[in-house]
Amino acid sequence: MKKRHLSQIVLAQTAVTIMGLFTTLMIITVFFIYLYAKSRTEDFVRYSLQSINSIVQSRMEYNLKNSTIMMADYYDGLIAENGPGYPGSAEMNETMWTDAEYNVFSEGDIVDHNGIIISSSDDANIGYDMSSNPGSAEFMSLLDGEADVVIRDMEPRDPDGIVMKYCGAPLREYGGYFLQGFNTEEYDIYKDKSIDMQIENSKVGRNGYYLRVNGEGTIESCTDAGLIGKKAELPREVRFLAGSGRVIQGDVYGVKSYVGAVADGDDYIVSVYPAFEAWETWNVLMVAILVIYAVVLTILFLMIRRLMMGQILQGVYSINGSLGRITAGDLDEKADFRNSIEFDELSDGINQTVDRLKDLIKEAEGRIDAELALAAKIQAAFLPHEFPAFPDRGEFELYADMTPAKEVGGDFYDFFLVDQDHLALVMADVSGKGLPAALFMAASKDKIRHSVMKHGTDVAVAMREVNTNLIKENEAKLFVTVWLGVFTISAGHMDYVNAGHEYPAISRGGEEFIAEEDVHSAPVAARKKTVFEAGSFEMRPGDTLYLYTDGVTEANDPEGKMFQRSGMLDALNRYRSGDSSVEDIDAGVREAIAGFAGEAPQFDDTTTLVFRYRGTGS
C-alpha cells in the first residue's frame, strides 16, 4: 500500500472529523428547529381561536353599551321635551312598547331616582324596586355616578322565565336611568351572526381560514363561502378537536394543514392553517443554517490545508477536542490553541459561534418562560379571584388561593351560587403536574360546575356524571381528587362528596379545628363504575370550614420532613378566633408552611379555601 504524507493523512482525517462534527450539529439544530417550529405553529392556531372569540365578545359588549347609551339619550330627550310628568304616562309606556315590538330591544324600563321602574315596555315591571334584589341592585350605581354603563345577566323572577341580559345607562337630564334587556337566546343568535361575520372576513395567516361547524359536522359559515353547507373534511372529528384542545396536522380538502377547534355553544369554531405556509419561514431558516455550516466547514478546511506545518497536529488535536466537547453539549468549552494567527482566528470563530448559540438558547428559553407565564395567567383567570367574593351576601364569607409549584398546576378551587339559597364549594387536585394537569384541570372545573348547576344538592349524582364525562375524554389517564359541597344557606346544611380528597378541617363555635372524617370515595376519572357516597353535616353561625390540597400537609422542610395534618391544625387553631377574618386564617396557615419549609423548594401546588358561616341573621 502506497503511503501518504503526514500532511495528507492529517488533512484527510481532519476533513472527515470536521465534516462529522458539523453534520451532527446540523442534525441537532434541524431537529430542535423542527420541534420549536411545530410548537409555535400549534400555539399560533390556538391563539387564532382565542382571538376570534375575544374580538366578537368585545364587539358585542361595545355595541350593547353604545346602544344603551344611545337609547338613554333618546328617552332623556323625550322626557325633556314632554315634561317631568311624561315618565310613567301611558304615552311613554306606549312608546317603549312600540320600540320593543320593532325589536329595538326585548324589554325597556325607565327607572326613577329612587330606583323604581315607572315606565316599561312590559306593564308587569312597573312599580318594581330595583334595590329589592341583589342582582338588580347592581344597577343602582348608575344613580350616583359610580358607573356610566352596567351590564349583567339576570335570572327571571318567574321560575319558567327566560334569562335576560340587561344593560343600563344614566338619564342625565331626568336623573334616573334607562334599562334595556335582551332575551339571552336572541343575544346568542346575534352573537352567532357576529361570529359568522368575523369568520367570513378573517384569515388565519395568509392562506388559512376559519369554519363554524354544527354538531352534525356541517359547515355553517366559512371564510371560503363555497364550503358553506358541506360536510367538514377534518383529520379528526370536530368534537375531539374541541374537547382535547389539541392542534392536529392532517389533510383538509386535500391540503396538509394544522387544525384546532373550540366549542361555541352547540357549534364549533375551527381554525385551518396550511402547513406549507407555516413552514415557509422555518424552511428558509434551516436552509440558511445549512449554508452557514457549509461555509464554515469550507473555511475551516482551507485554513487547515494551509497550516500543514510542524505544530499542525497539536492544533488539530486541540481544536478537535474542543469541538467534540461542544458537540457533546459542553457549551462552556473554549477553543484556545493560539500558536498562529490562523489558529487564533479558528479558536475565536468557534467561540463566537458557541456564544451565539448560547445566546439563541437563552432567547428561546426566555420565549418559553414568557409563554409559560402567559399560561399561568390564563389558568389563574379560570379561578374566582376577586374577594370579597359575594359582597352583598352577609350570611357567609370565604377566601381562596392557589399557588402552583410550577408555572401552571393541576390544583383548583371553585365557588358559585347554584341559586340564591345554595352555595357550591369545590377543592380539587389533578394527578400530575405542568400543562397536561392544567388542561385536565380546566376540563374538570367546567364539568363539575355544569353538573352541580344541573343537580344541585344531589352531589353524588352530580359527581357520577362528572366521572362519566371525564373518562370519555381522558386519553392521558389522569384522575382528580375532589371535595364538593353544596351548602344550603338558610338551613346551615352541607351536602358533600369526598372523591379521594383530603379530609376538610372544621371549627365549631370557636372551638379547635378538627378533621371532618366521614364518607370517602375513589378519585374522579380513576375508573368507570365508581360509586360516590354523599355525606352531610350542619354548620352553625360562627363555624369555619377549611378545604385544602395535599400541598399543605405534604410540604417539606429542608430535611425532608412533612408539615402533616397536625401542623396544619396547629396553624389553624392559632387563628380560630372569630376576630380573625377568613383571609387572616388562610394567610396564617401559609405563613406557617413557609416558616416550616424554609429554603426547601415547593414541590406541590398549594391550594386552600376558608368558609365561615355567619347565619341568615347577618
CATH number of the domain that 456 lies in?
Answer: 3.60.40.10
User: Cell numbers at residue 239, please?
Assistant: 368534537
CATH number of the domain that 267 lies in?
Answer: 3.30.450.20
pLDDT value at residue 6 = 42
Residue 535 and residue 469 share a domain: yes
Residue 32 lies in a domain: no
User: Residue 588 phi/psi, 5° resolution?
Assistant: -65, -40
pLDDT value at residue 209 = 84
pLDDT value at residue 275 = 84
Residue 120 and residue 80 share a domain: yes
Residue 425 to residue 553: CA distance in whole angstroms:
20
Mean pLDDT across the chain: 83
How far is C-alpha 274 from the chain's CA centre?
Answer: 26
Residue 52 lies in a domain: no
User: What residues of the chain score a pLDDT lower than 70?
Assistant: 1-12, 56, 103-104, 156-162, 184, 186-190, 304-317, 336-339, 364-381, 407-409, 577-578, 618
Q: Which helix (H) or strand (E) holds 321?
A: helix 312-327
Residue where a domain stops, chosen among 222, 253, 278? 278
DSSP one-letter string for 476-532: T---EEEEEEEEETTTTEEEEEEESPPPPEEE-TT---EE-----BPPBTS-TTPPP
Residue 123 to residue 132: CA distance in whole angstroms:
18
First-to-last alpha carbon distance for the chain, in angstroms, is: 104
pTM of the predicted model over 0.85: no
User: CB-based burial of residue 172 (10 Å sphere; 0-12 exposed, 13-18 middle, 19+ buried)?
Assistant: exposed
What value, to the nearest 5°, has the Cα angle with vertex 481 and ends 478 and 487?
140
pLDDT value at residue 111 = 92
Residue 543 and residue 437 share a domain: yes
Residue 318 and residue 369 share a domain: yes
The structural domain count of the chain equals 4
Residues near 66 by beta carbon (within 8 Å), at least 6 away in sequence? none
Residue 37 lies in a domain: no
Q: Break the chain down into helix, strand, coil percent, rounded to 5.
A: 45, 20, 30
In the β-sheet with 480-488, what is the strand arrangement from edge to edge? 411-419, 422-430, 480-488, 493-499, 534-538
Residue where a domain stops, chosen among 129, 152, 184? 184
Residues 133-185 pLDDT 10s: 887 888 888 888 777 898 887 776 555 556 778 889 999 888 889 998 887 67
Residue 208 and residue 322 share a domain: no
Beta strand 177-183 pairing with 107-111: antiparallel
Strand partners, 417: 423
pLDDT value at residue 313 = 58
Residue 338 and residue 273 share a domain: no
User: Residue 514 phi/psi, 5° resolution?
Assistant: -135, 160
Residue 316 lies in a domain: yes
What value, to the nearest 5°, has the Cα angle with vertex 187 and ends 183 and 192?
150
What's the domain range around 445? 383-613
Residue 571 and residue 434 share a domain: yes
pLDDT value at residue 431 = 83
pLDDT value at residue 215 = 81
